[in-house]
Amino acid sequence: MIIHHLEKENSILNKFISEIREVTIQKDSLRFRRNIERIGEILGYELSKHLNYNPTNITTCLGTKNVNLLSNKIVLCSILRAGLPLHQGLLNYFDDAESAFISAYRHHPNNDKKFEIVVEYFAAPDFNNKTLLLADPMLATGQSLVAVYEAIKKQRNIGEIHVVSVIGSVEGIDYIKNHFPENTHLWIAAIDDELNDKGYIVPGLGDAGDLAFGEKI
């Protein structure tokens, strides 16, 4: 797996990451969603530098100009529900992309800390000869991403893959490395060292879905 860790270099991205982490700021759900969206835009911009381009002649009111335009056909697939603001940020830049959505949640069969990932819903276009951007804001244990990837593989032929996340753990990244193809790119804004005993990223930011859309029952 090829890892692109954006926080290693200082940029305006630092401000958006700090605000989604800061407890006094993240209580504003509108601002939280917008910051995730802006982080998605930055991740998408950096990702775009590693895609394919073809020279194309365009016509202006005064002549013609040759420019290099993106040639990849993009499918943007986000994990519901937390992935929606990140999806929008990526879609702001890849506005010609087709969209796919898949659900994944933690199920605790014994009402303890042990859980399994349940994938129930998947809606997507054809993936043939297209580049998949798989978006999930929190890469904690990595089990959700792997479960989603395995579910998608059963229904679609997957080619080039770019995983896009906001915050991940070292453990989660190591886990997905062992389950995704070697040439998969991971685009991630920030990496934290630890998971707690419930499998949440520390210091992380909490539950991204709850912060964006309200607590669930």
Only one residue has tokens 């929190």, namely 138
- Amino acid 115: pLDDT: 75
- Amino acid 163: pLDDT: 98
List of E strands, the chain: 2-5, 53-59, 64-70, 74-80, 98-103, 105-107, 116-118, 122-123, 131-135, 138-139, 161-169, 185-192, 194-195, 201-202
- Amino acid 182: pLDDT: 95
Q: Mean pLDDT across the stretch 44-55? A: 98
Q: Mean pLDDT across the stretch 6-24? A: 97
CATH dotted code for 2-213:
3.40.50.2020
**What does pLDDT average to over the chain?**
94
Per-residue pLDDT at 114 exceeds 80:
no
pLDDT digit string (tens) for 95-107? 999 999 999 877 6
Q: Mean pLDDT across the stretch 89-114? A: 86
Per-residue pLDDT at 198 exceeds 90:
no
- What is the band of 113 on the pLDDT scale with cuts at 50, 70, 90? low
- Amino acid 85: pLDDT: 97
Strand, coil or helix: 157: coil
* C-alpha–C-alpha distance, residues 38 and 53, integer Å: 24
Least confidently predicted of 83-92, 115-124, 139-148, 195-204: 115-124
- Amino acid 164: pLDDT: 98
Per-residue pLDDT at 72 exceeds 80:
yes
Token pair, residue 189, equals: 């804004």
- Amino acid 104: pLDDT: 85
Per-residue pLDDT at 118 exceeds 90:
no
> What proportion of the chain, given as a percentage, has pLDDT over 90?
86
Q: Mean pLDDT across the stretch 151-167? A: 94
* C-alpha–C-alpha distance, residues 55 and 32, integer Å: 38
Name the more confident of 43 and 106: 43
For residues 51 and 72, is the Cβ–Cβ distance under 8 A? yes
Close Cβ partners of 22 (under 8 Å, ≥ 6 residues apart): none
Domain extents in the chain: 2-213
CA 94 centroid distance within chain? 13
* DSSP string of 99-146, one letter each residue: EEEEE-EEE-TTSSS--EEE---EE----TT-EEEEE-SEESSSHHHH
For residues 3 and 186, is the Cβ–Cβ distance under 8 A? yes
Per-residue pLDDT at 112 exceeds 80:
no
* C-alpha–C-alpha distance, residues 185 and 112, integer Å: 34
Per-residue pLDDT at 117 exceeds 90:
no
**Is-above-0.75 flag for pTM?**
yes
